Chain A
Amino acid sequence: MTCFSVLLSIAIGGGFPQNSIESKLKETKLNYKQIEGFYQLTFVNSEKKELRYIYIRSTPDSYLSLEKFEVMSIFLDQKEAPKTETLFALAKKRLSIGSLIYEKATPEKPYHRYRYSVNIDSNTSSEALSYILSMAYNTGISLEKEVKQLEGVSQ
């Protein structure tokens, strides 16, 4: 079994939590920093010396009584558009929780982006939040391997 360490990076500046998701994030004891629109968590695979970011949107999306924050793992940015076979495989891909999102390149963002996305409540417990963040990390790794394999990109 491989153990990963979590890089305790730049902690957010002093003061009290600005909202409940941040207070839950603080309870996880994971270190994070706030960037524009997101909380950014840094995960490090100490064996592979590989660094990966997981993001939580700092503003929730609402629908009726629902108020959910998006947790995302951006696992691949690629200059080339996906092959048709890859696009169809992604379109048929089912995950047991969360979504695989494809974003097409634009003039402002000249690369095709693939990310894993899952939503959480502001009242999610810190234990569940830790679990979901770790799941997003692991799912990002799995999906990256899968997409690279489909695209014939070296791992």
Chain B
Amino acid sequence: MILSLVASAVIQQDQLIERPKSIESVLKATGLNYSVSKNGKNYQLVFDHKNNRKQTVFVTQDATKFGTMLSFSVYTNFWVGTTNDPSREFVEEILLDRKKYGHAYFRKNSADEKWSGWFGWNFIIIEIPTELSAEDPKVKELKDTLYYINQVGEEMDLKFGGSLDH
């Protein structure tokens, strides 16, 4: 096996591929309400929670190609900080708060320089069936992945997000 021909998951721009139309057809088949995000790069779904809380889950429109696989990011925001760096203890606490799938990460917004905390995972698909129904395994997988990210996001939002609803 020639392992050097296989990509590393460390992001390389040339791995980003053109937006396949297919992911929207899978999303549509879930029967969930979705819209295009403000920046036009993601689909977004808003889930309702107790006390009028909401959790927004994003699905990237662009995919990264690995061999025959297409990987889409599914992610949500659970915390927004200030322009000051969060404490080491806070970062460590979040990184060590492991979930069964996916991981938490931080971003520093290039526009307002504010820190934020996110949780994300991947939806991987090889081939989109020509006929899609809600019972198609990949449709169910995307739907349950969205539910999972929503649930983890809301839990982390309640735990780390303070009184704000992200």
Contact = CB atoms under 8 A, between A and B. Distances in A.
Interface in A1-47: 1-6, 30, 43
A68 B101 contact: yes
Interface residues of A, number: 52
Is the contact region of chain B dominated by helix, strand, or loop, or is it mixed? mixed
Residue among A4, A91, A117, A118 having the largest count of chain B Cβ atoms under 10 Å: A91
B77 interface: no
A143 B10 contact: yes
Interface stretch (B20-28, B46-54, B84-92): B84-92
Interface residues of B, number: 46
Interface stretch (B33-41, B140-148, B155-163): B140-148
Interface in A93-113: 93-104
Contact of B10 (A95, A101, A104): A95
Given A64-B148, A87-B92, A128-B69, A92 B122 contact: no
Interface of B: 1-12, 15, 64, 66-69, 71, 85, 88, 91-92, 94-96, 98, 100-103, 105-108, 121-122, 124, 126, 137, 140-141, 144-145, 147-148
